C-alpha cells in the first residue's frame, strides 16, 4: 500500500508544518468531503492549525447535510483567504490536496501557486495525467477504493480514536466510491469499513447521507432507457440534447450499465455544459477504455475513462465513437 511506503515522509511533512490547508476537488462529493474532514480531525489531534479551503457555492445533497450538521465546528475559508491565514514563516505552511491531482479540477487552481512544490502533499486514488500538480509528496494509489480509505489507514497509523460521526463520514466516502462495495473493493476495503464500524460508524447514517434525489434518479433512468447495445456487449446511452447533466451523474450511469448481463463496456454521452459534450466510459477489462477515448481527446485507464468534446453534438460524438469501436472490433 502506497501510504505505508510513504509513511515516514508524510509524518515528516506534517511534523514540520504549523498551518495546514486542505483542499479537494470542485463539486465536492462525500469522498472528497469525508476525507477532508477526517484529515482535519487527525491534524487537530496533532495540534495543527487547520483550514478547509472551499470555493464551491452549491453542494450536492449529502455534502449540504454534513455542512449543516457541522456548522461552526470547522475552519472553512475560501481560496482568497488563504494568504491572510498563512503562518508567519512561509515554510511552515502546508497544502494537502485530497481526492484529486489535476490542476483544473481542484477547488482553486490559483491556490496551488501560493505554495512551493515542497509545501504540497497530494493524497489521492485517481490516475496521474499531464496536468497533475507537482508536489513534494504524492501518495497516489490507483488500487485503493477511495480517499476516505486512505484517510482511514492514516487514522489507524496514528492510532487515533475517531468520534463515531467522523467515522461515519469516512465510511460514506467508501460506500459512495465503491458503489456499495461493488467496485474497486478488496479485503483492505472491507477491513477499513470494519475498522470504521468498530469506532461506531453508522450504516444507517451513511444511508441517510447518500439518499438520492428522486428527480435526479428518474433523469438518470431516462438516460439508461435511451441505450443502444452493440454486438451484444457494448452499451451506449445518450442524454437528452436539451439537458445539462452533472459529470458525476454521467459517470454513475456508466457504472450502472455494467451491472447488466453480457455488457462488457459502457459509454454514456451527454451534455455537461451548454457547448460541451461529455463521455463517461467503463469496461470490465476486455475493452481498453483509454485507447478508445484517446482519439476523442479523452483519457483514463483500461477500465475507466472520460472525454470532453467542445462545440459538438451528441449525435456527432456518437457517430465518431461508433466508428472507433468498429475499428476496435476488426
Output 31 or 60, the one with its CB closest to Mn ion.
Answer: 31
Give the interface segment with Mn ion, choosing from 72-80, 98-106, 207-215, 300-308 (CB under 5 A): 98-106
Output 177 or 249, the one with its CB closest to Mn ion.
Answer: 177
Residues 6+ apart with CB under 8 A from 164: 199, 200, 201, 202
Contact 174, 144 (CB under 8 A): no
Q: DSSP class of residue 25?
A: B
Shortest distance, CB of residue 184 to Mn ion, whole angstroms?
10
**Cα separation, 200 vs 25, whole angstroms:** 28
Among residues 257, 327, 298, the alpha carbon closest in space to that of 127 is found at 298
Shortest distance, CB of residue 99 to Mn ion, whole angstroms?
4
Residues 43 to 82 in contact with Mn ion, rule: CB under 5 A: none
- Number of residues in contact with Mn ion under rule CB under 5 A: 5
Output 52 or 236, the one with its CB closest to Mn ion.
Answer: 52
Give the interface segment with Mn ion, choosing from 169-177, 209-217, 261-269, 312-320 (CB under 5 A): 169-177
Among 54, 97, 99, 249, binds Mn ion (CB under 5 A): 99
**Cα separation, 238 vs 279, whole angstroms:** 9
Shortest distance, CB of residue 151 to Mn ion, whole angstroms?
11
Q: DSSP class of residue 132?
A: B
Shortest distance, CB of residue 124 to Mn ion, whole angstroms?
8
Residues 107 to 146 in contact with Mn ion, rule: CB under 5 A: 146
Query: How many helices and strands in the chain, by DSSP H and E?
Result: 13, 12
Residues 6+ apart with CB under 8 A from 95: 20, 21, 23, 111, 112, 114, 115, 119, 120, 121
Among 28, 177, 199, 205, binds Mn ion (CB under 5 A): 177
Per-residue contact string for residues 139-168; x = within reach of Mn ion by CB under 5 A: -------xx---------------------
Shortest distance, CB of residue 146 to Mn ion, whole angstroms?
5
Give the interface segment with Mn ion, choosing from 23-31, 227-235, 269-277, 315-323 (CB under 5 A): 23-31
Shortest distance, CB of residue 100 to Mn ion, whole angstroms?
8
Contact 122, 101 (CB under 8 A): yes
Other Cβ atoms closer than 10 A to 85? 14
Shortest distance, CB of residue 55 to Mn ion, whole angstroms?
18
Rg of the chain taking only CA atoms, in angstroms: 20
- The DSSP string of 294-314 is GGGT-EE-SSEEEEEEES--H
Among 19, 28, 31, 303, binds Mn ion (CB under 5 A): 31
Positions in the binding site for Mn ion (CB under 5 A): 31, 99, 146-147, 177
Amino acid at each position: 500500500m502506497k501510504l505505508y511506503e510513504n509513511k515516514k515522509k508524510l509524518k515528516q511533512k506534517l511534523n514540520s508544518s504549523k498551518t495546514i490547508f486542505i483542499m479537494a476537488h470542485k463539486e465536492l462529493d462525500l469522498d472528497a468531503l469525508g476525507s477532508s474532514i477526517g484529515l482535519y480531525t487527525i491534524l487537530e489531534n496533532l495540534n495543527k492549525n487547520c483550514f478547509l479551503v472551499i470555493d464551491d457555492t452549491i453542494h450536492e445533497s449529502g455534502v449540504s447535510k454534513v455542512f449543516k450538521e457541522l456548522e461552526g465546528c470547522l475552519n472553512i475559508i475560501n481560496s482568497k483567504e488563504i494568504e491572510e491565514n498563512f503562518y508567519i514563516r512561509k515554510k511552515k505552511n502546508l497544502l494537502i490536496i485530497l481526492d484529486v491531482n489535476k490542476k483544473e479540477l481542484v477547488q482553486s487552481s490559483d491556490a496551488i501557486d501560493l505554495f512551493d512544490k515542497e509545501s504540497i502533499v497530494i493524497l489521492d486514488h485517481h490516475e496521474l495525467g499531464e496536468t497533475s500538480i507537482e508536489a513534494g509528496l504524492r501518495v497516489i494509489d490507483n488500487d485503493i477504493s477511495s480517499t476516505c480509505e486512505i484517510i482511514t489507514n492514516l487514522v489507524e497509523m496514528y492510532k487515533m480514536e475517531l468520534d463515531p460521526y467522523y467515522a461515519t463520514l469516512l465510511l460514506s466516502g467508501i460506500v459512495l466510491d465503491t458503489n456499495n462495495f461493488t467496485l474497486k473493493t478488496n479485503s483492505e476495503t472491507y477491513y477499513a469499513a470494519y475498522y470504521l464500524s468498530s469506532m461506531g460508524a453508522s450504516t444507517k447514517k451513511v444511508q441517510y447521507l447518500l439518499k438520492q434525489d428522486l428527480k435526479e434518479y428518474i433523469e438518470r433512468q431516462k438516460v439508461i432507457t435511451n441505450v443502444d447495445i452493440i454486438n451484444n456487449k457494448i452499451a451506449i446511452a445518450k442524454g437528452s440534447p436539451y439537458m445539462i447533466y452533472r459529470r458525476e451523474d454521467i459517470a454513475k450511469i456508466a457504472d450502472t450499465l455494467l451491472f447488466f448481463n453480457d455488457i462488457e463496456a459502457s459509454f454514456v454521452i451527454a451534455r455537461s455544459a451548454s457547448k460541451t459534450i461529455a463521455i463517461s466510459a467503463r469496461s470490465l477489462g476486455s475493452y481498453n477504455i483509454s485507447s478508445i477515448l484517446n482519439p476523442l481527446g479523452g483519457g483514463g485507464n483500461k477500465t475507466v475513462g472520460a472525454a470532453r468534446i467542445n462545440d459538438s453534438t451528441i449525435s456527432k460524438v456518437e457517430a465518431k465513437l461508433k466508428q472507433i469501436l468498429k475499428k476496435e472490433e476488426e
